[in-house]
Amino acid sequence: MVRYKAVISYDGSSFSGFQRQSRARTVQEEIEKTLFKITNGQEVRIHGAGRTDAGVHAYGQVIHFDLGHEREKEKLRFALDTQTPEDIDFISLEKVSEDFHARYNKHSKTYEFLVDIGRPKNPMMRQFATHYPYPLDIELIERAIKDLVGEHDFTGFTAAGTNVQNKVRTITAADVRYDKERQFLIFTFSGNGFLYKQVRNMVGTLLKIGNGRFPVSQIQKVLLEKDRQLAGPTPAGNGLYLKEIIYEE
């Protein structure tokens, strides 16, 4: 078997997430259907570096899959790119060793979250940015976001019901910038892993801090007390993007 690694992007608006589900359209299902066609009916299972939720987008999701024989890389990438639906794009493709695994090889992820703070909102971006029409002091957010950097137990920012036991993760960078022209806040988080809905819950908490309904110290309080009820609400997934995945050599 020959293993291939691909970097893909997708518009998550019409997907029920990345992972295959019964009676729901997913990124995994669409790519596997395309591989079935171009391999003349062979079942090929793809493996992703992470599972994005319904409505969540990706600039740089990574997948791997095995084929029975080697193919010319650019021809294979082009076939996948042109035969998958238009809301999926194959950016690059390469042959990798048999022990490479998109999910389990050590890597870091970067997520981006777009918040439309314009009043009125931009209707053209309704599926690509989460609208927040309330007053914000961006300086408060800039101060609070720094407290997320480092190794922490992120239990308080995790969705209830997750079965992950170890909730300690390391965030290496956390940043927010204001795009004045588009009236967007752009949050960026990089780290060695993220828990279920962690990024969205961190953004929801930071927005409440910016709105004055939480103190700047609320991030520290959630981390210390590990209580989901102390964090902000979970924003819609339409503003979330899996931006980049970098693997260690």
89 carries an active-site annotation: no
**What is the secondary structure of the chain as a DSSP string?**
-EEEEEEEEE-GGG-S-SS-BTTB--HHHHHHHHHHHHTTS-----EESS---TT-EEEEEEEEEEESS---HHHHHHHHHHHS-TTEEEEEEEEE-TT--TTTS-EEEEEEEEEE--SS--GGGTTTSEE--S---HHHHHHHHGGG-EEEE-GGGSPTT---S--EEEEEEEEEEEETTTTEEEEEEEES---TTHHHHHHHHHHHHHTTSS-TTHHHHHHHH--GGGS-----GGGEEEEEEEE--
* Annotated active-site residue in 53, 81, 89, 175: 53
Query: What positions carry a catalytic annotation?
Result: 53
